[in-house]
Amino acid sequence: MEGKKLEKRIGTAVDVLMYALLLVQMVYVFTGNILHEALGVGFFVCLAAHLAIKRKYLFSLYKLKGKSAARKTANISTMLLSLTSVAMMLSSMGVSRTLFPWFRYLGYSDLHVYLATAVLTLSVFHGGIQGYIRTKKKKRAAVFIGLGCIASIAVGLALVPYLNRHFKVVRVDLAKAVSGEKIEWNGSKPLVVYFTRVGNTDFEDDVDAVSGASLMLADGELMGSNKLIADMIENAIDCDVQAISLTGEKYPSSYGSTVAVAGKELRKNVRPDIEPINTSGYDSIILIYPLWWGTVPMPVATFIESSDLSGRELYLIATQGSSGYGSSADDIEKMAKGADVHKVMSIYCDDIPTSRESIGKWLKELNKG
Ligand SMILES: Cc1cc2nc3c(=O)[nH]c(=O)nc-3n(C[C@H](O)[C@H](O)[C@H](O)COP(=O)(O)O)c2cc1C
């Protein structure tokens, strides 16, 4: 009796762990590739344990005769769940880059997401119907099952694509994205200075399988979106371009960890070391930066404070995920003592690959002023 009780408890714990693992797996964009794959293996180990515990039930699934409608539904959904789980295991190995790089069957990422959605939904249904069979409050159980299934489908078909759209790799045809109208710049040649995650982050070699904030593959090469803007300006006007490059520790590959590190840097007001940028001889500087925590990334603050910008025209482009340009212009104005800081052009991250025309217009406007 004691042994059975323990087995039941372990079974419930394994089930809960499996649901949790599935949900964490869905936010792949934040976990990164290696953790995603490791958790995937963990999920299938739990599944094997679950099947071992429930082996008797598993082998009687096909016996539908004489069973109640609820039991029949439970058995059929369990069969479906078993099939989709096997398909998902194959597709997980198929899309794997680290643990099963040699396995290439069912290796389509869209299929993988659909199968994961099916497994999540059927798992909720599978757990729910067992509860439905046991409880006296059938109506309430049915409502919970319905809501759980709708939520699971929404996670797979709405939340995951939303996260992918906003945080996943974007592919760009570099020549097409960068080229456009040539603009005559009034005055001496400006210096374009930009900061971007790529080059300042410890990305894995297979970073196209790892998602991050608006990572971009331009002609198959990883490229920071702010570098793309610098390239657009370089195509439009005669200018020099320099990147703000960290000399010390780089940012971590996962988006979430970078947000955490950047937040800590901001709170502590640190100035990470960067390679020196020679601004002498330039009357105008165009500074391009991503908005981090509503202001400039701290390496950009290092650049501004370590440069003598007095008497220079400072033009700003901020890329962002929703917040305009936050307090970045005010903060820059305080740091860039004596510089003439102009209005910020703010570009929403999804619009970056197609912003060549609006950047051209902005440059023309600057020439007027
Ligand atoms: C650490 C960090 C903090 C961010 N904070 C903000 C923010 O406060 N507001 C916002 O709209 N976007 C925020 N974002 C989104 C970035 O501004 C946006 O993705 C930007 O285009 C990234 O440019 P990059 O790919 O060249 O690094 C943040 C991104 C990171 C990585």
Task: For residue range 304-325, list pLDDT tens digits in order.
Answer: 999 999 999 999 999 987 668 9
C-alpha 72/C-alpha 63 separation (Å) is: 9
Task: For residue range 65-84, list pLDDT tens digits in order.
Answer: 889 999 999 999 999 999 99
| Across 47-74, average pLDDT | 89
Res. 53 pLDDT band, cuts 50 70 90: confident
Name which of 17, 203, 221, 205 is nearest 213 in CA terms: 203
> Which tokens sit at 2?
């004691």
Q: Is the distance from CB of 233 to CB of 239 less than 8 angstroms? A: yes
Atom of ligand 1 nearest to the CA of 259: 1
Number of neighbouring beta carbons within 10 Å of residue 222:
17
Res. 210 pLDDT band, cuts 50 70 90: very low
More confident residue, 223 or 322: 223
pTM, two decimal places? 0.63
Task: For residue range 91-118, list pLDDT tens digits in order.
Answer: 999 888 789 988 878 877 678 889 999 9
Distance between Cα 24 and ligand 1 center (Å):
22
C-alpha 71/C-alpha 260 separation (Å) is: 48
- Whether 174 shows a pLDDT value over 80: the answer reads yes
- Whether 198 shows a pLDDT value over 60: the answer reads yes
**pLDDT at residue number 60:** 87
- Partner residues linked to 194 by β-bridges: 243, 288
**pLDDT at residue number 220:** 82
- Whether 329 shows a pLDDT value over 50: the answer reads yes
Q: Is the distance from CB of 333 to CB of 304 less than 8 angstroms? A: no
Distance between Cα 102 and ligand 1 center (Å):
35
**pLDDT at residue number 57:** 84
Ligand 1 close to Cβ of residue 292 (< 6 A): yes
Distance between Cα 9 and ligand 1 center (Å):
44
More confident residue, 296 or 95: 296
Ligand 1 close to Cβ of residue 168 (< 6 A): no
What percentage of the chain carries pLDDT values higher than 90?
A: 65
Q: Is the distance from CB of 85 to CB of 112 less than 8 angstroms? A: no
Task: For residue range 233-288, list pLDDT tens digits in order.
Answer: 999 999 999 999 999 999 988 777 888 999 999 999 999 999 999 999 999 999 99
C-alpha 353/C-alpha 131 separation (Å) is: 50
Which of 292, 295, 298 most suits a substitution to test ligand 1, by most atoms within 8 Å of the C-beta?
292
Spell out the alpha helix ranges (H) of the chain: 2-26, 28-31, 33-53, 55-59, 69-95, 109-134, 138-154, 160-167, 174-178, 225-236, 255-268, 298-306, 328-335, 356-368
Ligand 1 close to Cβ of residue 320 (< 6 A): yes
**pLDDT at residue number 214:** 52
Res. 24 pLDDT band, cuts 50 70 90: very high
Ligand 1 close to Cβ of residue 148 (< 6 A): no
Number of neighbouring beta carbons within 10 Å of residue 209:
19
Distance between Cα 257 and ligand 1 center (Å):
13
More confident residue, 7 or 129: 129
CA Rg, the chain, in Å? 27
C-alpha 358/C-alpha 361 separation (Å) is: 5
Res. 201 pLDDT band, cuts 50 70 90: very high
| Across 351-366, average pLDDT | 93
Q: How high is the mean pLDDT of the chain?
A: 90
Return the residue matching tokens 């930066």.
Answer: 289
